[in-house]
Amino acid sequence: MATATMPVAADLAADVTPIPFLDLVEPHRAREEEFVAAFRTALRTAAFVGGPEVEQFEREFAAWVGTTHCAGVANGTDSLRFIFLSLGLEPGDEVITASHTFIATSEAISQAGGRPVFVDIDPVTMTLDPAAVAAAITPRTVGIVPVHLYGQCADMDSLLALAAQHGLWVVEDAAQAHGARYRGRSAGSMGTAGSFSFYPGKNLGSCGEGGAVTTSDAAILDGVRRLREHGQREKYVHVSEGYNGRLHAIQAAILRIKLRDQDAANAGRQQVARWYQEALADVPELTLPQVAPWAEHVWHLYVVRTANREALRQALVAARIGVGLHYPIPLHRQEAYAHLGYAPGSLPVTEQAAAELLSLPMFPSLSQAQVERVAQTIRRHFGR
């Protein structure tokens, strides 16, 4: 996908054209007429929420992920919350997850009535450390939520084995991992259920909000379908209270069009990552992201580590290169979780990562010339 040729080094130094952190315009250019046609169809059929586009997308996304079922929902927080509610959390039930993630993961656990238990991550993959999970299991533990962060799957065999040993469920937060694989198995297909977000910046993003639950468990499918529709099984027959958590038909139509290109879009990200790995290999001050032996990484983010992160961030911003921090304050140190009582230093790998990580521009159409300019700015910053 990224095709521009590389200019000579002198051109790169002189170039101050902004390089965005993320480009959300370009991915919609090639198929703009199809998106407009989808919107026109929705207008002319008045199919706005639910309906055939949503059902068709659910079938196609389930087939792509490799589960029997998929239920489209309003966003990737609802998908987590509806899964946890369907699993029937009781007050005081403990759910083990990472602190190094977006707050939606733990928010959904609390809002479904459980208690998030934050554990440390593996320093190489930045995903749940199975040894830390094992150490955190108590008689109150009911489940494990691995987050396939930045586009790479957590160590699922170890986590699934632990879950089987202790009778726990596993829910995969795959919001950042559309199409990622673990030893050939697709993110969102390995646990009791998988949760996806289609927020615009995700690997598969809608043109608004969206989310999905993938599962081969009919009871979870039934629970999620009920909860997204005010607890109703049929119109105005409510077996419980629920939520307004439906996927919009226009977003489903857009997602159906984009899903056709998703493997190519992920391949574009993989090419960009290869360019970064080559261009930055000779900078000892940087730790580059690593791909675990089990992983097919889909590079939602390209995240490097360096001891003096702020100086590098400023150098990149001065060169008009967009950067991000994912995530600067770990969840266990957020004010929102002060009541859980995690002391500073309680999750050392997570805390060090939060202080050192810097996300570089990453999107499928980033060109080799742009990657080279980012790399050259970094090399110069470190005097190379």
| CB contact burial 71-109 (16+ within 10 A = b; e otherwise) | bbbbbbbbbbbbbbbbbebeeebbbbbbbbbbbbbbbbb
Span from 12-20, 36-44, 101-109, 364-372 in contact with ligand PLP (CB under 6 A) = 101-109
| CB contact burial 310-336 (16+ within 10 A = b; e otherwise) | eebbebbeebebbbbebbeebbbbeee
Residues in binding contact with ligand PLP, number by CB under 6 A: 14
Closer CB to ligand PLP, 295 or 375, in the complex: 295
Span from 2-10, 102-110, 262-270, 311-319 in contact with ligand PLP (CB under 6 A) = 102-110
Helix (H, G, I), strand (E, B) or coil at 173: strand
- Rule CB under 6 A: say whether 211 interacts with ligand PLP: yes
Closer CB to ligand PLP, 105 or 189, in the complex: 105
Span from 2-10, 71-79, 85-93, 245-253 in contact with ligand PLP (CB under 6 A) = 71-79
- Rule CB under 6 A: say whether 102 interacts with ligand PLP: yes
- Rule CB under 6 A: say whether 354 interacts with ligand PLP: no
Span from 29-37, 99-107, 109-117, 346-354 in contact with ligand PLP (CB under 6 A) = 99-107
- Rule CB under 6 A: say whether 152 interacts with ligand PLP: no
The residue within the footprint of ligand PLP, chosen from 47, 54, 57, 75 (CB under 6 A), is 75
CB atoms within 10 A of CB 268: 20
CB of 233 to ligand PLP, least distance (A): 25
Residues composing the chain: 384
Give the integer Cα–Cα distance in Å for 379 and 267: 26
CB of 268 to ligand PLP, least distance (A): 20
- Rule CB under 6 A: say whether 154 interacts with ligand PLP: no
Closer CB to ligand PLP, 100 or 381, in the complex: 100
Alpha helices in 183-308 (DSSP H): 218-227, 249-259, 262-279
**Minimal CA–CA distance to 329: which of 353, 346, 310?**
353
| CB contact burial 29-48 (16+ within 10 A = b; e otherwise) | eebeebbeebeeebeeeebe
CB of 384 to ligand PLP, least distance (A): 33
- Rule CB under 6 A: say whether 302 interacts with ligand PLP: no
Closer CB to ligand PLP, 199 or 294, in the complex: 199
Closer CB to ligand PLP, 76 or 319, in the complex: 76
Alpha helices in the chain (DSSP H): 9-14, 32-45, 52-65, 76-87, 104-111, 130-136, 156-166, 218-227, 249-259, 262-279, 309-318, 348-356, 368-381
Span from 96-104, 126-134, 228-236, 245-253 in contact with ligand PLP (CB under 6 A) = 96-104
Structure tokens at 324: 């991000």
Span from 70-78, 163-171, 284-292, 334-342 in contact with ligand PLP (CB under 6 A) = 70-78
CA dihedral 278, 282, 286, 290 (to 10 degrees): 40
- Rule CB under 6 A: say whether 76 interacts with ligand PLP: yes
CA count, 13 A, side-chain hemisphere, 240 = 15
CB of 179 to ligand PLP, least distance (A): 15
Question: Binding string, 159-178, against ligand PLP, x = CB under 6 A?
Answer: --------------x-xx--
Report yes or no: 236 and 229 within 8 Å, Cβ to Cβ.
no
Residues 6+ apart with CB under 8 A from 343: none
Give the integer Cα–Cα distance in Å for 384 and 333: 36
Interface residues for ligand PLP in 188-207 (CB under 6 A)? Answer: 197, 199
CA dihedral 346, 350, 354, 355 (to 10 degrees): 60
Radius of gyration of the chain (CA): 21
Name the closest residue to ligand PLP (Cβ): 76
Interface residues for ligand PLP in 120-149 (CB under 6 A)? Answer: 147
User: Could you list the residues that contact ligand PLP (CB under 6 A)?
Assistant: 75-77, 101-102, 104-105, 147, 173, 175-176, 197, 199, 211
